């Protein structure tokens, strides 16, 4: 297990080095003189950025908007998903509207949200909520609806109440669906939080991207792109780790944790 994990990390690091090498060669060769800086210039600018409080403040603003919006979307989405999933009538009645809304990006309502809430952190949190809520509802309701009917019938035969069946049988069955939904929604929350600043003028790394773009400071612009890439890797890794730890009891995750 340790050797395979080391091999996986080593392969990922090698892939990152190859990508940086290709970037460096392209920027110094065929694309020399274009707005694209070399990888060395962007990494050097990144090294200067990490010691500035502005970069960390912008990163915190983005992460806070993403986490708060995701937490609210998870709580509301799970509650509504349970309510929909326990009723076959509600499940079938809401399937088409939810599937219709799921692929619509929150950027569609961005102008209206900015007009109502202004370029604030609250605007970013609301957009993150909109971007994650529907997919969590869909997954949670599917997990509840797909609970093994034999397990529920067994609970009824042992005299369990509806609440006890919901808590001890239905919810554990739906947790893998919910865990997957939150893991997939976590990077989405980060992207939407960045877009809220990039297009909506809200605080965070999105706004930090706009400033060097306007002034033509390409190394700083790509340094912030690197910050976003690293932050995305951290968010994805933490969400996968959290999913495995919370669902370690499930057969799907036992081998991964052991």
Closest Cα partner for 120 from 156, 84, 69? Answer: 69
Cα 175 from Cα 187, distance rounded (Å): 19
Confidence label for 255 from pLDDT (cuts 50, 70 and 90): low
Handedness of CA 161, 147, 242, 69 (dihedral sign): negative
**For the structural domain made of 39-257, what CATH number should be given?**
1.10.3720.10
Length of the chain: 258
What is the rounded CA–CA span in Å between residue 130 and residue 73?
Answer: 8
Give Rg (Cα) of the chain.
22
Q: What is the pLDDT of residue 257?
A: 47
**Is the pLDDT confidence value at 254 over 60?**
no
**Domain map of the chain by residue range?**
1-36, 39-257
Tally of CB atoms within 10 A around 12:
11
94-135 tens-digit pLDDT: 888 888 888 888 888 888 888 888 888 899 999 999 999 999
3-state secondary structure labels for all residues of 122-182: HHHHHHHHHHHHHHHHHHHHHHHHCCCHHHHHHHHHCCCCHHHHHHHHHHHHHHHHHHHHH
């Amino acid at each position: 297990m340790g050797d395979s994990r080391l091999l996986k990390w080593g392969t990922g690091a090698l892939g990152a080095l190859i990508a940086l090498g290709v970037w460096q060669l392209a920027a110094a060769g065929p694309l020399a003189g274009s707005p694209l800086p070399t990888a060395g210039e962007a990494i050097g600018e990144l090294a200067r950025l990490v010691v500035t409080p502005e970069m960390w403040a912008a990163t915190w603003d983005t992460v806070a908007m993403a986490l708060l919006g995701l937490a609210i979307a998870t709580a509301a989405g799970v509650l509504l998903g349970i309510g929909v999933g326990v009723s076959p009538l509600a499940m079938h009645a809401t399937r088409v509207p939810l599937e219709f809304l799921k692929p619509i990006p929150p950027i569609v309502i961005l102008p209206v949200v900015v007009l109502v809430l202004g370029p604030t952190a609250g605007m970013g949190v609301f957009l993150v909520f909109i971007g994650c809520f529907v997919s969590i509802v869909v997954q949670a309701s599917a997990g509840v609806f797909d609970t093994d009917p034999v397990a529920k019938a067994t609970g009824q035969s042992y005299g369990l109440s509806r609440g006890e069946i919901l808590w001890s049988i239905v919810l554990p069955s739906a947790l893998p669906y919910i865990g997957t939904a939150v893991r997939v929604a976590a990077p989405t929350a980060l992207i939407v939080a960045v877009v809220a600043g990039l297009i909506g003028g809200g605080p965070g790394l999105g706004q930090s991207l706009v400033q060097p773009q306007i002034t033509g400071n390409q190394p700083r612009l790509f340094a912030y792109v690197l910050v976003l890439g690293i932050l995305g890797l951290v968010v994805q890794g933490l969400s996968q780790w959290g999913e495995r730890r919370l669902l370690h009891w499930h057969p799907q995750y036992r081998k991964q944790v052991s």
